[in-house]
Amino acid sequence: MARFKVSSSAASPTGRFRRSRRAPPPADRTPSKSRSRLFRGFRSVAGQVFALQVLVVVLLVVAAVLALVLEGQRDSTREARNRSVAVAQTFANSPGMVAALASPDPTAILQPRALAAQQASGVDFIVVLNTDGIRYTHPNPARIGQKFVGTFEPALHGEVVTQQLTGTIGPLVQAVVPVYDTNGKVVGLVSAGITISKVSGVVDHQLPLVFGAAAVALALATVGTALASRRLLHQTHGLGPAEMTRMYEHHDAVLHAVREGVLIIGGNGRLLLANDEARRLLDLPADAEGRPVTELGLDREAADQLASGEVINDEVLLTGERLLVVNTRPTDRDGGPDGIVATLRDSTELHAVSDKAQAARKRLKLLYDATVAIGTTFDVMRTAEELASFAVPRFADYVTVDLAPAVLRGEEPPPGEGGPMQRAAVSGVRQDAPFYPVGEEITITPATPLAWSLDTGHAMLDPDLRSSTGWLAQDPERAGQVLAYGVHSVVRVPLRARGVLLGMVRFWRADPSVRFDEDDLSIGEEVAARAALSIDNARRYTREHAMAVTLQRSLLPHGLPEQSALEVASRYLPAQADVSGDWFDVIPLPGARVALVVGDVVGHGLHAAATMGRLRTAVLNFATLDLPPDELLGHLDELVSRLDQDQTASANGDAVTGASCLYAIYDPVSRLCTVARAGHPPPALVHPDGTVEFPDVPAGPPLGLGGLPFSAAELLLPEDSTLVLYTDGLVEDRERDIDEGLALLGRALRQPGRAPEEICDAVFDALLPARPTDDIALLVARTRVLGEDQVAHWDVPSDSAAVGEVRAAVSRQLTEWGLAEMAFVTELILSELVTNAIRYATEPIQVRLLRDRTLICEVSDSSSTSPHLRYAASMDEGGRGLFLVAQFAVRWGTRHTANGKVIWAEQVLEYPE
């Protein structure tokens, strides 16, 4: 290989270019010799550049100073014009101007005002004229009554007149503006003027600074130019134009004599220089220099590599019929120009070896890309689509993937059966190919190549479909359409993984593609083997996911209980990747109250779903105790801690690792909603007018941490307001944070008058991600209120005689409600409850009747002692009161309040026929 080195010195007899060095001058150099050296310095390229740059800098500085001075003069004139017009218009529009002009002696009125305005505004004069141009005012009283000097006639027609003139006080600008009466008629004129020197003073004071700065800039530019010229002098070694021309000729001769192609390409991708060998190797046109590399007729790969500007080391490049070894290096090292220099060596004899290396590289890259692109999810259909999309068009023109129906369901197909297949994916360079569509069931015909591949598990190559007849028996009509479409060859590869036959993938090529060969068959087998493992993994995951979803849905409420306090709608959506432990519940409570619950177990899979079921059952049990929300969460936190300890102690157990929960109780009588949360997002409250807020509910720690108390918040909800409870999967995912999700939720809820079902749909439409990575539970409840005609209450004194009065009042109230048939039983129940309260409890004692879906009797007192049901013996005189209450009531119980307790009993409503 030819090697050469280009030097920046002059040529020497030995073949290298050197510049002869002169001996240093003697110490006693005369002044004439110094002047001679200075003159020769200006004859060099560096000296000429220095002189030219200094001249350009001087001209630029002078032009900048002149421009600044002229601009200052223009600004002064413009400022004088603007100020005179502003002062004249302000004085012309001042109050009393029209009246003063119409007075018998305008001068007496206007002269003091004009002098005061002149002094305040800083102008040189303010003159008021009549329509004939006679002055009413003037700084010099002797000129009052004389004719105005200047043009004022256009102002009589409503125009503003400005003039630049030289008066007795120097160059000035004056303006004349009209004065209008209430009818829009011009009744007078006002002129204001100011000398230009008053507004140009700033520029005049700045001129010395400007000239000083210009001098400094000139000095700095001269020093910089001198340094640049010195660097240029060093780089050119003081050579003159003739010497540099001679050096270029020597270099050019060497460049074109070497037997290695040389290209110099600028930073903009244009060819700057090509020697004779490069022109021959690349077959460059005569006018190649100066044109972009991409427009020289080179192969696309060669043009892209040369235009990329990247460093290339011994890169093998096929261009035309030649195989070239390319090396590129940047030219901008050590301060050189931007671009690259490329060297080319002809290695055509290595063409055959290069083809094999290229094929091997493409094959390895194809297999590597298949590993990365196929199996990105645990979805069987998605994995089949990735296989089909990946192979088109890099390996085949069309790809069809057929899977056993059991595989699509996540099940393992039965062994040894060539049952029907289902089309799972189709991909191609065109969309109108006559293949079976996705979802079509394909019956396998025996004694066909397709059946043979499925039975034996071996791949099969069919390079010429027109000459092959065996495959036509599978579907003669469809096969004819495929041939008419131009498909000419196919590779069939069974999808097998872990000894299980999952399906079949077929790679098709059509005109004008090259037909498949044995190498392609091997590549197809390797790609299919990687895809089969991904499909089998997805199948196994699909089975486990279906089991988890089934368990999750079986543990969630199958229907919402009937109650009158809230109109409720709910949604639940499991994650596509893996089911989590989200749940919700609606729990009717005594006193027509309703509890709303939303929770989320940390983790995924069957364990999370099972833990969710245990926590939901625990919440239902705690709710029967009628505990306040904060106390219920405390008990639930203790339960989660015990579950976590039990799972950790188990050899094969997985820790719960925590959960979040929000528990709310709504009372339709008082419209009070008590809310507490443990590590859960806050609820959203939609007011009847459509405004949305996220109430400030104290954020307790997640369940399972233990040791920290929970706090509850009380919200007074208007009727027809909507409470929205949700899990974090709705407002938070990998694409957005929780603040952005809450903002989107607020916008989705900001519309009044919608039913809970409509709100659920709107929220899912606005916030539901394309592929949820976490479970989503949503509970929307619109509040109702028990009217005053459904509630009755009485205060009871601590006196046994009050029992009869209560019974009589209750009887009257039941008659008003049309429930007279229930009076006897209700009086009996209340008699027992009120008697116990008077005997064993403390005041205040209150009785309340609620007419809801049931008739609810409540007796409240300030004692915290709960009654116990006793079974009296036959000879006992007492102990049967609560027993009778339990016999006549459908349900009864006790709930504790902040001030005592409430004993309640419910009866089924009985209306007369």
753: alpha, beta or left? (left if phi > 0; alpha if psi -120 to 50): left
Higher pLDDT, 428 or 371: 428
Distances (CA, A) of 541 to 8, 134, 582, 796: 70, 104, 20, 66
Query: Beta-carbon neighbour count of residue 88 at 10 Å?
Result: 30
> Is residue 34 predicted with pLDDT exceeding 50?
no
Average pLDDT, the chain: 81
* Whether 387 contacts 395, CB under 8 Å: no
Among the ranges given (186-190, 349-353, 492-496, 803-807), the one the predictor scored with the smallest mean pLDDT? 349-353
pLDDT band at 350 (very low <50, low <70, confident <90, very high): low
Whole-angstrom distance, CA of residue 860 vs CA of residue 836: 11
716-745 residues labelled b (16+ CB within 10 A) or e (exposed): ebeebbbbbbbbbbbbbbeeeeeeebbebb
Q: What is the tens place of the pLDDT at every residue in 760-792?
A: 999 999 988 877 778 889 999 999 999 888 999
List the one residue out of 213, 216, 212 whose CA is nearest residue 224: 216
Q: What is the tens place of the pLDDT at every residue in 255-292?
A: 777 778 888 888 788 888 888 888 888 888 888 888 88
Amino acid letter for position 691: T
Strand-pair category, 312-319 with 271-274: unpaired
List the one residue out of 80, 77, 73 whose CA is nearest residue 204: 73
3-class secondary structure, 287: coil
**What is the percent of the chain where pLDDT is above 70?**
84
pLDDT band at 392 (very low <50, low <70, confident <90, very high): very high
Whole-angstrom distance, CA of residue 298 vs CA of residue 594: 79
> Is residue 15 predicted with pLDDT exceeding 50?
no
pLDDT value of residue 656: 52
pLDDT band at 878 (very low <50, low <70, confident <90, very high): very low
pLDDT value of residue 887: 77
Mean pLDDT within 641-650? 69
Mean pLDDT within 451-466? 91
pLDDT band at 45 (very low <50, low <70, confident <90, very high): low
Out of 355-359, 503-507, 825-829, the most confident range is: 503-507
pLDDT value of residue 485: 93
List the one residue out of 592, 611, 595 whose CA is nearest residue 725: 595
Mean pLDDT within 339-358? 72
pLDDT value of residue 426: 95
* Whether 603 contacts 580, CB under 8 Å: yes
Among the ranges given (255-269, 394-408, 425-439, 585-599), the one the predictor scored with the smallest mean pLDDT? 255-269
Higher pLDDT, 908 or 202: 908
* Whether 715 contacts 675, CB under 8 Å: yes
Mean pLDDT within 474-490? 93
| DSSP label of 468 | -
pLDDT value of residue 754: 92
Distances (CA, A) of 762 to 52, 723, 743, 750, 754: 74, 15, 14, 10, 10
Residue with tokens 């949503």: 778
Q: What is the pTM of this model?
A: 0.51
Query: Beta-carbon neighbour count of residue 687 at 10 Å?
Result: 14
> Is residue 59 predicted with pLDDT exceeding 50?
yes
Task: Determine the distance from the C-alpha atom of residue 438 to the mean position of all C-alpha atoms in its chain, rounded to a whole number.
Answer: 34
Among the ranges given (245-259, 574-588, 783-797), the one the predictor scored with the smallest mean pLDDT? 245-259
pLDDT value of residue 42: 55
Q: What is the tens place of the pLDDT at every residue in 679-720?
A: 999 999 999 999 999 999 998 899 888 778 899 999 999 999
pLDDT value of residue 589: 93
> Is residue 422 predicted with pLDDT exceeding 50?
yes
Whole-angstrom distance, CA of residue 138 vs CA of residue 126: 7
Amino acid letter for position 114: A
Whole-angstrom distance, CA of residue 553 vs CA of residue 579: 10
> Is residue 545 predicted with pLDDT exceeding 80?
no
Task: Determine the distance from the C-alpha atom of residue 241 to the mean position of all C-alpha atoms in its chain, rounded to a whole number.
Answer: 61
pLDDT value of residue 577: 63
Distances (CA, A) of 280 to 252, 256, 325: 17, 12, 15
pLDDT value of residue 170: 77
pLDDT value of residue 651: 47
List the one residue out of 500, 257, 520 whose CA is nearest residue 363: 520
Among the ranges given (522-526, 562-566, 877-881), the one the predictor scored with the smallest mean pLDDT? 877-881
pLDDT band at 23 (very low <50, low <70, confident <90, very high): very low
Mean pLDDT within 512-540? 90
pLDDT band at 870 (very low <50, low <70, confident <90, very high): low
pLDDT value of residue 555: 67
> Is residue 26 predicted with pLDDT exceeding 50?
no
> Is residue 564 predicted with pLDDT exceeding 50?
yes
> Is residue 62 predicted with pLDDT exceeding 90?
no
pLDDT value of residue 460: 93
Strand-pair category, 699-700 with 672-678: parallel
Query: Beta-carbon neighbour count of residue 206 at 10 Å?
Result: 14
User: What φ, ψ does residue 423 adopt, rounded to 5°?
Assistant: -70, 120
Amino acid letter for position 385: E
> Is residue 891 predicted with pLDDT exceeding 70?
yes
Higher pLDDT, 772 or 432: 432
pLDDT value of residue 761: 93
